[in-house]
């Protein structure tokens, strides 16, 4: 196992509960890589389970749309005992949140279609291999200057089989969390990832989150307000599957709301994106954002969506215009720029 001193640190691009992400260059080859330092202090028992899972799963998966773990390196203290552990990944210049939040970057219909297709191919591959990601969101989708999209951040991922019936529902970032998890379901399937994918694709068109809840109850209110209330006709086993549904079902004094996803999305589209959101694009999003996970489209079904066969067809990554005019754009960098701008405005206001 190599030592981290084999790399030269350049700059930070990310920060999370279980570690920071920095760009490094290999001192021998000059290759640019991303190093995720595992924060062992965040766990009482030392090495975090999320990091162990991420390493194990990424070692097993090999796909062009899944980020590649190149190696694991350590730093040593004076006694030559390993102190910190770093996961070494291929470096990608952007993440999808960074792109969406960077106003200078112009994304077009062909970017959205290609990245949606690449995302679905990666999701289909992991689901075939019985892996559920459980944290798909825009900031966990990395994109390089060649237009290639890769799914990252596998700390909440796990192997899955249909017999599992006591899984934690405290997974998936709130804006991307499906109704079954919000309603307390503990026996869920890979379809939880597909709800997240539907939210992500809508977000690319809107250039903002589709369902931006502040807490779990608010998130459910937003879902029911846009997608309507589920019914037992559409979701027969909702009562047995979702213990919290009894608190929300319309028969308990709540008004039954109609589905208005298509109208809501069209109303919120930026002017430039209006011609891109074709009926077939809406059909695909609509079929992924279905309450009943059994009726929600799988990645394999979504890859056969008519939208992908409409003119213009899906472009390979190599044909996308990636001249964005910015060296890199990640969620952490975009957040830092925003905080710096707010600080400057506050300082000028004080003067």
Q: Quick check: is 135 catalytic?
A: yes
The pLDDT value given to residue 253: 63
The pLDDT value given to residue 346: 81
Query: Would you say 36 is a known binding-site residue?
Result: yes
Please give the order of strands across the beta sheet that includes 32-38.
7-16, 19-26, 32-38, 82-90, 69-76
With contact defined as beta carbons under 8 Å apart, do 185 and 165 qualify? Answer: no
**DSSP-based three-state secondary structure for 121:** helix
DSSP 190: T
Distances (CA, A) of 225 to 192, 251, 261, 264: 20, 16, 9, 10
For 339, counting Cβ atoms within 10 Å of its Cβ (0-12 exposed, 13-18 middle, 19+ buried), the class is exposed
DSSP 315: P
Q: Which of 135, 153, 193, 286 is catalytic?
A: 135
Residue the block writes with tokens 């792109």 = 99
pTM metric for this prediction: 0.94
Separation of CA 288 from chain center: 15
Q: Rounded distance, CA 186 to CA 243, Å?
A: 9
The pLDDT value given to residue 325: 94
**Cross-strand pairs, 76:** 82
Where is 150: in which H helix or E strand? strand 149-151
Tell me the HSE value of 239 on the side-chain side, using a 13 A CA sphere.
Answer: 8
| 3-state percent helix, strand, coil for the chain, nearest multiple of 5 | 40, 15, 40
List, run by run, the mean pLDDT of 10-residue segments along the chain (351 residues). 93 82 96 91 72 93 98 79 86 97 95 99 98 98 98 95 92 98 97 99 98 98 96 94 94 79 97 97 98 98 98 96 95 84 78 62
The pLDDT value given to residue 329: 95
Q: Rounded distance, CA 297 to CA 325, Å?
A: 36
Question: What's the start-to-end Cα distance of the chain, in Å?
Answer: 54
The pLDDT value given to residue 254: 66
Mind listing the domains of the chain with CATH numbers?
A: 8-90 (3.30.200.20), 94-319 (1.10.510.10)
């Amino acid at each position: 196992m190599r030592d981290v001193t084999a790399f030269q640190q350049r700059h930070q691009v990310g920060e999370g509960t279980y570690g920071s992400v920095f760009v490094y260059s290999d001192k021998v080859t000059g290759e640019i890589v991303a190093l995720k330092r595992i924060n062992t202090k965040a766990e009482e028992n030392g090495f975090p389970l999320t990091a162990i899972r991420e390493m194990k799963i990424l070692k097993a998966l090999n796909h062009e749309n899944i980020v590649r773990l190149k190696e694991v390196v350590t730093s040593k203290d004076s006694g030559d005992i390993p102190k910190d552990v770093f996961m070494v990944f291929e470096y990608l210049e952007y993440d999808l949140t960074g792109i969406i939040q960077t106003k200078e970057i112009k994304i077009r219909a062909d970017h959205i279609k290609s990245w949606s297709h690449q995302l679905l191919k990666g999701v289909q591959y992991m689901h075939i291999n019985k892996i559920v990601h459980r944290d798909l969101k825009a900031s966990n989708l990395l994109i390089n200057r060649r237009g290639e999209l890769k799914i990252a951040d596998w700390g909440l991922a796990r192997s899955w089989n249909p017999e599992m019936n006591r899984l934690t529902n405290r997974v998936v970032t709130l804006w991307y969390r499906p109704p079954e998890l919000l309603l307390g379901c503990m026996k869920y399937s890979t379809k939880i990832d597909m709800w997240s994918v539907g939210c992500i694709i809508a977000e690319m068109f809107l250039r903002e989150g589709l369902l931006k809840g502040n807490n779990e109850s608010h998130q459910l209110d937003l879902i029911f307000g846009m997608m309507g209330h589920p019914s037992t006709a559409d979701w027969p086993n909702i009562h047995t599957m979702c213990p919290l549904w009894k608190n929300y079902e319309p028969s308990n004094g709540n008004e039954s709301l109609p589905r208005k996803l298509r109208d809501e999305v069209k109303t919120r589209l930026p002017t430039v994106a209006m011609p891109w959101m074709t009926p077939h694009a809406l059909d695909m999003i609509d079929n992924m954002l279905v309450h009943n996970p059994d009726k929600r489209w799988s990645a394999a079904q979504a890859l056969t969506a008519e939208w992908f066969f409409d003119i213009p067809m899906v472009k390979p990554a190599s044909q996308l215009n990636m001249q964005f005019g910015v060296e890199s754009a990640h969620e952490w960098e975009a957040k830092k720029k925003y905080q710096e701008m707010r600080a400057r405005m506050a300082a000028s206001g004080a003067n």
